[in-house]
Every structure is written in structure tokens, then in C-alpha cells.
Chain A
Amino acid sequence: MARSDVQLMLDVKAGDEASFDFLLQKYRSPLVNFLNRMVRDTATAEDLAQEVFLRVYKARKQYTPSAKFTTWLFRIATNLALNSVRDNRHQRMGISLDAPAAGEDSPPMELPAREMRIDEHMIERDRADIIRRAIWSLPEKQRAAVLLHKYEEMDYIEIARILDCSEGALKSLLFRAYETLRVQLAPLVTQPAGQVRGGGGEGRPS
């Protein structure tokens, strides 16, 4: 019989290193994907995912199964991701206007996401890239809510606990997030896959 995540964590607490390895194998991919979609950088996402597992391990002696294991795991991940995003934003804001211009090899500095219209970039970018950028354009908390709701398929109570808000506030957060995505992805929403190039760019009124 398969052990539950809580039981695995209790076994880690009791000193069973193999159970920690089992949890690592089970959640490495969901965590890296979640963090990658949160922080927009694969290397940073992997660093943060490692940090999540390390914190889980360090906290094993104090672990008490008061909530689902995934709630605890993704709460750590979400907090780390939000801190990372905020730190990076501050760093970007700190870039001097007198700094040397970006060279050919370095990626161009991105415009603030809310001012970026998806249809302006449609010609150069493929469909997945547009979707990825639409997710990145969401405010951090809305982004986390959508990722946990859509990709981790968590229930409202669990997501609300992770984001430290009420269930009602979460539903409102999700509605606003999907409404923003609806506007951002309007060119794709109105056209089926494979007809992106040259598509119209009329955004729907929010």
C-alpha cells in the first residue's frame, strides 16, 4: 500500500532518508514547473526548488501534519517565488538609465507586462510563448493562484491557505486573473490553434 505524503514526511522526521528521496522524486517536476512559471527563469526556478526541498528537510523535526503536505510544500515555494520576483523587480528598477545599452547577446529589457499588448508580439512569437507571457503579465498573487488552480489542480481551500487569503477572496482573485488572461489572449481565444500568424489584434473590453 502506497504511503501518503504525510506518512512519508513523518518517516523523514523519524530519520528515514529514503522517504525524503521519494518525496523529492514525486515533487521535483511540479515544483520546478511551478517556480519556472512564477519567476520566468529556469535556473532561478531550479535554485528555488532546491531551496524548497532543503527547507522541508531542515524542518522535518518540527513537522506536524496539520495540513496537506502539498499545502505546506507549495506555501514554501510560493513565498520563495514571491520574494524572488520582488527582489528582481527592485533590481530592475535600480538599473541606471546611464547604464550601457544591452548588447546583441543579452536579452532586451522587457517592458512592464501590463503595458505590453500580446497582439504586438504575435508575428514573432509562437503560441506557447504568447501564453507564457500572458501568465507572466499577471500580478504575482494572481499568477500563483492560476498556476496552483490550473496546473496543480488544488482545491480552493488549499490555494487559499497557500496564499493566506479567504476562499471568497481567492475566487475573486482567480476571476480577475482569468479575465486578464482573456484580454491578453484575445487574439488566440478568437482563433483556433495554428492560425496565430497574421491574426487580428482586437482585445475584448474588460
Chain B
Amino acid sequence: MKCEDVSKGLIAYLDQRASSAERRDMEEHLAGCAACRTRVEDFGRVRSMLNELPAIEPSFGFDARVRQRVAAEPRRSWFGWFAPQARFALSAALLVALAVWVVRLPSSRPVAMPPVPITASNVSTDQDFDAVKDLGVLEDYDVVTNMDALSQLVPAKAPEAQKPNSNRSESND
């Protein structure tokens, strides 16, 4: 062992936590090195000197202040019992469920429509009508102006709705 190696093992040696082999190496080196022997003795004195430092006691109101701060902590709601990841997942799931629910809100769509032969023209017209009818907040000018024509497509007059193109062209004029 060299003097520079002493720094790696001296603390464990003084703490009596060095292995028997490390201890033997250290003692062999110390036996032949006066400088390191002095250092070991000084370290021992320093460590015992640190015991002279008096301990302090926490002030009288310390415990009360800790309890006061703890009591001021807001108690967790049931939601707070979840781990942060679970809270995020639950929030996301609730958001998706809410979005789905809003999209599928009960519309004013008639429950029972009389059977109408499906053609390319009346399908597109009915879809247009339903789309406009479901958007209650839409106040687009075109919709308002086309409302008369669209109102002719109500279920009671469904058979006549087979000629939507002519109605639309009339209203657009």
C-alpha cells in the first residue's frame, strides 16, 4: 500500500469496517510511514473533538407548528386516492365517454319513418336534412333560406320527398 492509497481505506479502517485484508495492509503501511501514522492519529482526535459540539433542542413551539402545518394540509378527496397515472387515465376515459355521449345526444330525428325506397337522390337529401335538423344552433344563412324547402321533407310527406331535386332547385332560385 502507498500513501495515496490510504485515502481510500482510512475512513473504513478508523470505523473498524475494513475487511481483515484491508486492515492488515493498512497496518503494514502505517508501521513504516510516520506521516500516515500521524494522519491517522489526527483523524482520530478530530473525530472525538466533534463530540464536543453541543446538541440543540428544538424550540418549545416546534411540534405545535409542525402539527399546525400538517392540519392545514387539505385532506384528499376520493379522486386523490388514485395514483397520478390512474388519475390521468380515469380523466381521459371520462373525457372520451363525455364526448361520445355529447355526440350521441338524443336528436329530434323521427323514431319511425315510413318506408321510403332508397335511391341515390333521396338518401343524400335525407342525410342533408337530418344533418341540418340536428344542428340546432346552426344559424347559417343558407340553412335558414332553405328551411322552407327542407320542411317539405317531413315524414308526413315522405312519398313526395322522392323528388327532392326539383324542390331544392325551386328554393334556390
Contact = CB atoms under 8 A, between A and B. Distances in A.
Interface stretch (A3-11, A74-82, A85-93, A181-189): A181-189
- Give chain A's interface residue range (CB within 8 Å of chain B): 35 or more
Contact of A193 (B17, B47, B52, B55): B52
Interface stretch (A49-57, A98-106, A108-116): A49-57
A58 B46 contact: no
A176 B39 CA distance: 12
Contact of A131 (B53, B66, B70): B53
Interface string A27-45: 0110011001100001000
B58 A49 contact: yes
Contact of B11 (A175, A185, A188): A175
A131 B52 contact: yes
B69 interface: yes
A182 B42 contact: yes
B59 A29 contact: no
B56 to A, nearest CB: 6
B81 A61 contact: yes
A174 interface: yes
Contacts of B17: 155-156
B47 A57 contact: no
Contacts of B62: 28, 32, 46, 49-50
Contacts of B104: none
Interface residues of B, number: 35
Contacts of A37: 53
Interface of B is mostly: helix
Contacts of B49: 131, 185, 188-189
Given A50-B69, A174-B11, A28 B58 contact: yes
Contact of A54 (B7, B39, B43, B66): B66
A28 B55 CA distance: 12
Contact of B46 (A33, A50, A181): A181
A54 B67 CA distance: 9
Contact of A132 (B53, B66, B69, B73): B53
Interface string A62-84: 10000000000000000000000
B55 A58 contact: no
Interface in B110-139: none
A151 to B, nearest CB: 8
B70 A53 contact: yes
A171 B9 CA distance: 8
Contact of B8 (A155, A171, A189): A171
A139 interface: no
A95 interface: no
A46 B60 CA distance: 11
Report which residue of B45, B46, B57, B66 has the largest number of chain A beta carbons within 10 angstroms of its beta carbon.
Answer: B46
Contacts of B42: 182, 189, 204
B50 interface: yes
A71 B17 CA distance: 20
A42 B43 CA distance: 28
Q: Which 5 A-B pairs have the closest CB atoms?
A: A175-B7, A32-B58, A174-B11, A182-B42, A53-B66
9 contacts: A46-B59, A46-B62, A50-B69, A131-B50, A156-B17, A168-B8, A171-B8, A172-B7, A189-B46
Given A33-B55, A179-B39, 18 more contacts: A28-B63, A37-B53, A46-B58, A46-B59, A46-B62, A50-B62, A53-B70, A54-B66, A54-B69, A128-B52, A135-B53, A156-B17, A168-B8, A171-B9, A182-B46, A188-B49, A189-B46, A189-B49
